[in-house]
Chains A and B, each alone.
Chain A
């Protein structure tokens, strides 16, 4: 298995995550910003727990000890017109 994809939306593979986590000894949030894992269309709903588990495995600290990955509204994608509440035709 050459590339094990962890974040499907942004196509970030396991090797990239491990490499960045080792090189920068960083929090889940920083790992997300550096690799874009968890920043895609699903808002990290698919890969967030995998990333936390990976960091836990690499650093030995509990997931989310420092700066956990957050869930940002609106959680699921909504259209601009839905959010803008445009009712007129």
Chain B
């Protein structure tokens, strides 16, 4: 048997995706002794199988969009704090509309966002043409959010880890958590005994506090401590377009993306409806471009579904018919950690003192990583005056609810976290 020395830290963060990396960064920077446990490589799950929006344009006006705005400020600060580049590009973003009904809804959206203190404005047909020569001629207009930014999510993870290590973070890749035990029920509070023992594929670790930042795999970590975390994987496909001519300088989504996200009814064909397809087109630093999006509840099956990809390509052609000859070089899927109210869980867990959850961001993980990381660090310090109010993100708002059906049951023995 390979007996490893026990490794101990004040805080163990589980999950090396963008949420875990941001949490580890702010925790280490705040002076706490921290380790990061990741089952694969840093950013080898959802955070390298997504797009890179730090956007407020698609957030519910109010608390949700203000979280994004704070994230945007933090990301801007990180361009100075971190040593490695993460392809930060703060040019704002667009939503485009194809019907008068959408234009009317967009006008309301702009008014509500501006009332919440954000910087939104309506765009007409001529404005849209200025944004890209490849847009369909019949698009009516849309809206722009001035503060939205793009980043490269996996480079952002690398940059956060790199700087966090300078603050003392220890990173353990290929350390999949297999069991967690809470040790301290009977001990005196002053004893210097660890609260948690964490068994992993890279040996045993101990910590006083644990942050579960395992994204779609967070429920399995919860199960190990007997708690139910109502997060369900929602699969999204992305297509990579090859660089040819510049398509557009900033991110664009169709207005229907909002309807898909928040669960309204759209006037679209059955395949587009069934696969939850809505156009997103993101220019990236390599001068390639990414086409999204789809939303499906299919458990943890990450295989590419060509029917979905074809539906997305059709949807992209509806908004960008002049891209017909552009070549696509790659497709991929990522599992987004969905919650019922579209807000993440960033919270202590009363049933298990010392155990925190930072997960459930669905498609907003990139947008909300920095605000989540900073908030978790403040919670670990017991800070009362936090960067955003914590009540809407509490774990116990879902009391008694499980995830969406069978996906989160019975797979703990098959899926290694």
Contact = CB atoms under 8 A, between A and B. Distances in A.
Contacts of B326: 79-80
A30 B314 contact: no
B100 interface: no
Contacts of A33: 43, 48, 154-155
Contacts of B313: 80, 83-85
A38 to B, nearest CB: 11
The size class of the interface chain A forms with chain B is 20 to 34
A77 interface: yes
B324 A77 contact: no
B325 A83 contact: no
A84 B316 contact: yes
B222 to A, nearest CB: 26
A8 interface: no
Contact of A73 (B174, B306, B317): B306
Interface residues of B, number: 33
Contacts, number: 81
A79 B158 contact: no
A84 B331 contact: no
B42 interface: yes
B154 A74 contact: no
A34 B158 contact: yes
Nearest to A24: B158
B327 interface: yes
A86 B321 CA distance: 10
A29 B44 contact: yes
A18 interface: no
B412 interface: no
Contacts of B41: 26-27, 29-30, 66-67
28 contacts: A29-B44, A30-B42, A30-B44, A33-B155, A43-B330, A66-B41, A67-B41, A67-B44, A72-B304, A72-B331, A72-B332, A73-B306, A74-B328, A77-B327, A79-B326, A80-B241, A80-B325, A80-B327, A80-B328, A81-B317, A81-B325, A83-B309, A84-B313, A84-B324, A85-B313, A86-B314, A86-B317, A86-B324
The 6 A-B pairs with the shortest beta carbon distances in the complex, nearest first, are A84-B313, A81-B324, A83-B313, A77-B327, A84-B314, A72-B330
Interface of A: 10, 26-27, 29-30, 33-34, 36, 39-41, 43, 66-67, 72-74, 77-81, 83-86
Given A79-B324, A83-B328, A85-B310, 9 more contacts: A29-B44, A30-B41, A33-B154, A41-B327, A66-B41, A73-B309, A74-B328, A77-B327, A80-B313
